[in-house]
Amino acid sequence: MENIDHFLSKEEEQEIVQAIQAAEKETSGEIRVHIEKTTSIDAVDRAVEVFHLLEMHKTELKNGVLIYLAVNDKVFAICGDKGIDDVVPEHFWDSTKEAMAAHFRNGDFKQGLIDGIRKAGRQLQSHFPCADDDKDELSNEISRG
């Protein structure tokens, strides 16, 4: 069993947080990463639960994106709020997951997460540009369950 505290090194975590900060720099959107050991339900359903537990549905423009991983189950999901889901191309989240999964299959979880964050960030930037009075509504730190 993988210990989620050691799933990523401190340096890898810092690089992921920096990728979130860079992605959010040009958008009002919010990106979070949540890691837990296992889930007893479908990864997408659990991602939706975590999305609400982290209060990501409370962003002003409904433009939060959660990348959820259950490491022992080797499953992950991306959950976007209504604002971003309504404007991304039809298969955007699937293509983002595929790009991430290619890295995950090689054991490169850090790069998979960073690529997913960057792809989500580019969509958020194009649909939700940063306003002059934008504030970071959610933490950029990786949350754990």
d(CA 68, CA 89): 21
23-61 confidence digits (pLDDT tens): 999 899 999 999 999 999 999 999 999 999 999 999 999
Backbone angles phi, psi at 6, to 5 degrees: -115, 10
- pLDDT exceeds 70 at position 1: no
96-133 confidence digits (pLDDT tens): 999 999 999 999 999 999 999 999 999 999 999 987 77
Position 133 scores a pLDDT of 72
Whether residue 31 contacts residue 128, with contact meaning beta carbons closer than 8 Å, is answered with no
pLDDT confidence tier of residue 143, bands split at 50, 70 and 90? very high
Residues in the chain: 145
d(CA 104, CA 38): 16
d(CA 28, CA 51): 17
